Structure 1
Amino acid sequence: MKKEKVSYRFYPYEGKVLSAKREISFEIKLTSRLILDELCFNWNKKMLEEKINQSIQNGNKDEFKSVRELYLQYIWE
């Protein structure tokens, strides 16, 4: 059996270099999404509570009713 001789010749690559991105695991994506959702929920609820308190202090019943409807969605379970 003949032995085959293999020779390699390297040429410099002149194109644009691609870089691979590392995939983020599903658990990290889910955890970060849940944390952001909870932060947004708490912030929105706090702002609605402040608007309700402000409308009570000002005696504005129409504003209170409209904000109350939005706030009920946050306390409904």
Structure 2
Amino acid sequence: MKKHKLSYQLKKFDKSEQLVLKAKREIPFEIRLASQLVLDDLCFSWNKARLEENINQSIDENNKEAFESLSKTFNSYIWES
């Protein structure tokens, strides 16, 4: 597991205030990974729902060309290994 890294920043304020030292801790790898997985899942679900809506709309409109192109795109969403 990675070591936690700290980065320090010195900020100078007005002369009436003192020098402030702020420490920032990097976000842990596990949290970054979990947040990326959640975002990927949300995007996947949203894109799949939009494709389903467009496919249903093309079926309702009897648009065969749109249905075929959308169904080819949709196949990548339902493919299982």
Common fold by TM > 0.5: yes
Considering only aligned residues, what root-mean-square deviation do their CA atoms show, in Å? Answer: 1.3
Distance 1:20 1:69 in 2: 51
Runs of 4+ in structure 1 off by over 2 angstroms are 18-21
Instruction: Give the aligned length.
Output: 62
- How many percent of aligned residue pairs carry the same amino acid? 58
Per the TM alignment, residue 47 of structure 1 is displaced from its structure 2 partner at its CA by 0.2
Judging by fraction of residues, say which structure has more strand. 2
Judging by fraction of residues, say which structure has more helix. 1
What is the identity, as a one-letter code, of the residue corresponding to 2:56?
A: N
Q: Which runs of 5+ in 2 are unaligned?
A: 1-9, 12-20
Q: Which runs of 5+ in 1 are unaligned?
A: 1-15
The structure having more radius of gyration, on CA atoms, is: 1
Aligned to 1:44: 47
**Normalising by structure 1, what TM-score?**
0.75
Q: Which of 61, 74, 77 pairs up with 2:77?
A: 74
Structure with greater contact order relative to length (CA < 8 Å, sep ≥ 6):
1
